[in-house]
Structures are given as C-alpha cells and as structure tokens.
Chains A and B, each alone.
Chain A
Amino acid sequence: MSTETSSGTGPDRTEEMTIREAIRLALREELDRDDDVFVMGEDVGAFGGVYEVTGDLVEQFGEERVRDTPISEAGFMGAAVGAAATGTRPVVEIMFSDFIGVCSEQIINQMAKNRYMFGGKTEMPVTVRTTEGGGSGAASQHSGTIHTWFAHFPGVMAVAPATPASAKGLLKSAIRSDDPVIVFENKQIYEQKGEVPLDDDFTIPIGTASVEREGEDVTVVATQRMVGESLELAEELAGQTSVEVVDLRSLYPMDTETLVESVKKTGRLVIADESPLSYGTHAEVATRVMENAFYSLDAPIQRVGVADVHIPFSPALEEEVLPHGSDVEAAINRIV
C-alpha cells in the first residue's frame, strides 16, 4: 500500500481511492479473512468484471473462489441460496440490476423467504452486488434503478453506497451479515474518489444513514449519485441557503431517526433518488418523516427522481429524464 497517498497511522489510516477500488478492497479483505466467502458471477474472474470491480481478485484467490458463471442468473442465484444454507457465504454479482428479473424467483421466493418459512432455522448469508443507474447511453435494459423493489420486499436488506468509504463499509457488513443483503452500486460513480479507512475491520452498520454536510434551512436526503451532486449543490448555495445533506446509504432497514432528527432541525425536506417516483424510495422516506416529524415540517416535501419512464437511449432523451443537482436546486427553491 503506498504511503504517499495514505494519511494517518495505525487503525485510523485512510487512503484516497475510487468507489470501484473500495469495493474491490472490501472483497479482497473478506475473501482473505474468511475461507467460506466466495465470489460468483458473469466474467468476474479473469476478465475482472464488466465494470472492472473484481479486477485481479482471481489471481490472488483462484478460480474456485472467484468463480466465473455461465450467463445463468437463475441458476447461480439459486446455487448461492443453496450454498448459503449449507455453510458458505456467497457474494454474487448480477452484472446489471435490470437482469434481476430473470432470477427474481430465487431472490424473492427462496433467499428472502427461507429463513422465515423455516421458523428461523436457517441462515441466509448471501450478498448480491448489482449495478444501477442511467448515464451511459445503455438504454432501458441496462440503466434502471430498481432498488425500491427489494427495499420493499420483506426478507431482504438493501444498501446503496454513495462514497468510497461507504462502498467499503457497507459491502463488508453485507458479507459478514447472516442475512441476505443486496448492494446497489450506481455505475456512474465507480470513478468517484474519497478517503477510505484501511482498517480490515472497518464496517458501516446496515441501517444507518450519514449526515454528510450539516445545514439549517433544508434537508436533502439523497442516495448514490445524487449524494455527490447534492453536496456540490450545497457548496454552491452556501451563504445563501444552508443545506443539510443526508446520505441514506441503507434503504432497508432505514435509519428513520437520523432523517427525522435532521428534518426536525431544518423543517424542510427534499428527497433525491434515481428511482421512478411512484411508489419509490422517496415515498418511504417522506412517509417516515411525516409520521415522525409532521409538526416540524414548514413546507411540503419535495421529490426528485425519474418521472415514471424508462431510461431512454438518445443522449438528448437520457439527459432529460435523469435527475441532477439542478433538479434538487429547483426543489429547494420551491420550498425555501
């Protein structure tokens, strides 16, 4: 590890790296730490993953534990469930979250239900990593943001990192968890950089949000790419409007307390997430805030997301539908 780019010493040492590198570091550490952990997915081995996330892991851990699969999501997702029930800790990569449809049976009827249906007599330590998000011109079947489906579905935990540190910390918690966790990685921010703790045991508890910037006038609860764009916006607006930015991080379970505390302070809420708006992640955040901080709200809650369309191909159309910091700014301007 290069000391030039590291800062701090001992357990508090950090290093600047991209989200992609932080995920790979988490995988490397967990593969190293626990022989029961293995990685499985399409082209995760020698090819290094279609977004180069698994990278060179196969060289260190071999083809058995960094396992290339056929293009067979139902087969290997189901195999992950069977493997987890019998004593291993699979980390499955579903290349694009849009492909989850073909293996949703194994997720919703097996992975999510077995523990409950069996009266708690089995554990299900499966981690699923998958990519989300538009912005690549990849059109509707490779650009979706679907995390609401699984944040909604009982029996699955869902997290969505926005920073390199949370990418590492959340993934490590997911792999160490005895419950099924889906990690939704926005593919547009893999190159985003930030300081990441190098401690092998650095984890971020699932179910915790993070106040990334404190403010007084309005709370922006954001996820994934929208966290970074909201932080940039908050910086631009500083001196004019004081914006508090909360990274939701964990979609389910959700850290209601942190959201509510923030809104009790600011009295205003904008929710920014790339999901389609109807029945979306926004709705759940809004409901929890209204249930718990209704009398603190000074203005209607605002939602920033995708207007219930698929992600189109043409750059002109794609740019139109994707939410950006400018949309968060417009939302703030409507209520502040």
Chain B
Amino acid sequence: MVVLDIETEDGQREALRRMLTIRAFDTKAADLFSDGELPGFVHLYVGEEAVGVGACSALESDDYITSTHRGHGHCIAKGLDPDLMMAELFGKANGYCNGKGGSMHIADVDAGMLGANGIVGAGPPLATGAALTSHLKGEDTVALAFFGDGAVAQGQVHEAINLAATWDLPAVFLVENNQYGEATPVEKQHNVQNLSETAEAYNIPGFTVDGMDITAVYEAVKEARKRAADGEGPTFIEAETYRYHGHFEGDQQPYRTEEDVAIWKDRDAIETFKRRLVDAGTITEDEFDEMKAEIDQQIEDAVGKAKDAAYPDPSEAYEDMFNAAVPEISDFSSGMRADGGEDR
C-alpha cells in the first residue's frame, strides 16, 4: 500500500485517492440503502473526507484511532479494505466483523482501527486507554479519537480528555464539527463559540481548523501527534466541516435548506485539494478522471463481491462472545429448539 504522507507527491495522490474512495463508497452505500439492499442504519461521511484523510496522513501506521457511528471514512483513511467493509455492510461472513458488526461497528484492531461506535462519545475513553497502553509499555504509538460535535456534550468525553491531560498521555482529540448533532444545530448544543475553547478547561492546546482543507487538518494533527509522542500530552482539535447527507440515510433534514448545503459544497474538500494538486502539476485533469473512474469501478466491484459473498452460517451467532468456552451459550442455543427426546 502507498504510504499516506501528504508531504510527498505520491502521498498526496494517495490522499486524494482515499478521499475519492470514501466519497464513492458512501455515495454507493446511500444508493444501496435507498434501494433497500442494505440492512440496518447507515450514517455517511460524504463532505467530511478531508478530516479523516488529513488526520490519518499525520499518523504513523501503528497509531490507533477510535471512530464514530459515521465511521466509513475513518476506516478508509486508516487504510482498511473497501471490499471487506462493503461485505460487512451486507452482513456477509467475510466482512471485517464476520457480519456481526455492520456499518456502525467496523473494526480492525490489528490495523489500529479500534472500532466505529454506535454510542456518541464512547470513543474518546477508548483512545485514552490505547494511549495509556502506549504510555505504560513505553511505546511510541499515539491514539487519536475522532468524535462529533454532539459528543462534546457527553460527560464521558470530558472524563476521557481530563484523564489524558492529567496523565500526559499520547492522545489526540479531534472533533469533527459537522454543524449538527443529529438534527440540532451545534449552537443550540454548546455555550462556546468554538468547541476548541473547551481545551482551556484541561490546560491543553486547542485549535479550530478548516476541516474542508486537508492540509490544515494535516498540519494541526501532525503538530498534535508530535506533542503527544514527545510526552507533552493531548491536544484538542476542532475541524469545521459539513456532512452533505442527513444524519442517517432517510433523514428528511427539515433543519436545513439546500442553500445551506450548497454553501459548503462550494468549498468541497476534494475539489479544493484536486485543484491544488493540478495547479502544482502533481496530477493532471486526465489522471484525476482516470483515478476517479478506477475508484468508482473498485467500489462497484466491492458491491458485486459483497453480494456474491456467503452469509455467515447461522451457528456463527453463538460464536465469539468469549475467548473461553461458556457452556450456557451452547446449552441454551442447542436446547431451546430441541424436541422432547426420549425423556419426554
């Protein structure tokens, strides 16, 4: 895999590729969901690509991230395989979680992805814990928590940042302020102008950056990662961004107008980054079109493979609860539907 390092031209093209992959993946997921092909809920990252890719490009490959219910973008940014992600969205046996997690729980701990998370605000304490492991073992890994503006109002997020700050842990807290906590605008949920102001309460640096600009996100996270790795503790970064889709697919979005969305689409992160790379001669328009077509095809193929893949055997429902064998699970699952047998 090409290293995601936007200080090199190869790395810049890789960053653009991942942003396009996120957009293609989630745009396809929207279509599949509206066609009734995907079970469950999907929350899409379209519009926020610069945050996930910018942040992950500032991390080392063995660093950890925690994610949110809107996690597909973080997965792709961290280098997860869209084929296995799509398989998971379809609930297939070869998906990242063998079909047990779905859209909201894709994880790949070995790749440093500690899980999308269906509970708003649950990720930051996990990142604090991953940073604690790094601290206790004297490793040089850093843990970055992605969380939304809505999560900033959660008590456990405060606790996680306070712990990491008090213990000088190698953590980075990155708020994706996409302007709405579900259907309620951010200004109706918080009493500060910028969410990064809350950093003052922990005596750690806090910055608000343009989340539609991958370079701005990258620079901020790079600096935060350095602080973390140098033992200087966590940083709180707010990335101002926007989700083009609703909170969930099917959201009628009465809380905003098409004009509101258009303002942000005019500052589209992919378009901005692409223009910058074209101007610098890093990529041509033709090469961009080629890259985009290739990615669209890759996602089409991922869908095809996911549809063809096998569902897990129903008996798999009773696996993976514990490392140890627990007799209850096997006894109950086999006994509940058994016939009376000879004792009856």
Q: Which residues of A contact B (CB under 8 A)?
A: 36, 38, 64-65, 69-70, 72, 74-88, 90, 105-106, 109-110, 114-123, 154-155, 157, 177-179, 206-207, 252-254, 256
Contacts and interface: CB of A to CB of B under 8 A. Distances in A.
Nearest to A257: B327
A121 B113 CA distance: 12
Interface stretch (B49-57, B131-139, B177-185): B131-139
Given A75-B156, A118-B100, A81 B129 contact: yes
14 contacts: A36-B137, A75-B125, A75-B163, A76-B125, A76-B163, A86-B64, A117-B115, A119-B95, A119-B97, A119-B98, A119-B100, A120-B98, A253-B326, A253-B327
Nearest to A110: B122
Given A106-B122, A117-B101, A177 B323 contact: yes
A88 B162 contact: no
Given A118-B109, A122-B107, A78 B328 contact: no
Contact of B101 (A36, A74, A119): A119
Given A82-B143, A253-B327, A75 B97 contact: no
B122 A79 contact: no
Given A79-B126, A88-B137, A256-B331, 13 more contacts: A36-B137, A70-B163, A72-B162, A79-B132, A79-B163, A110-B122, A119-B96, A119-B101, A119-B320, A122-B109, A123-B323, A179-B323, A253-B328
* Chain B contact patch, size range: 35 or more
Contacts of B134: 86
A118 B125 contact: no
Given A69-B163, A105-B122, A119 B323 contact: no
Contacts of B331: 256
B334 interface: no
Nearest to A179: B322
Given A72-B163, A121-B107, A122-B109, A84 B323 contact: no
A85 B114 contact: yes
Contact of B160 (A64, A78, A179): A78
A319 to B, nearest CB: 36
Given A85-B114, A121-B107, A79 B327 contact: no
B167 to A, nearest CB: 8
A178 B126 contact: no
A82 B129 contact: yes
Given A75-B125, A83-B130, A105-B119, A70 B97 contact: no
A85 B109 CA distance: 8
A116 B324 contact: no
A88 B132 contact: yes
Contact of B159 (A75, A122, A154, A206): A75
B250 to A, nearest CB: 23
A261 to B, nearest CB: 15
A215 B319 CA distance: 39
Nearest to A156: B322
A106 B128 CA distance: 13
Contacts of A87: 133, 137
Contacts of A120: 98, 319-320
B340 interface: no
A89 B107 CA distance: 20
B205 interface: no
A70 B166 CA distance: 9
Contacts of A109: 118-119, 122
Interface string B116-152: 0111001011111111111011000001000000000
Given A117-B97, A121-B97, A254 B328 contact: yes
A123 B131 CA distance: 17
Contacts of B136: 38, 64-65, 83, 88
Given A120-B98, A254-B328, A115 B320 contact: yes
Nearest to A173: B324
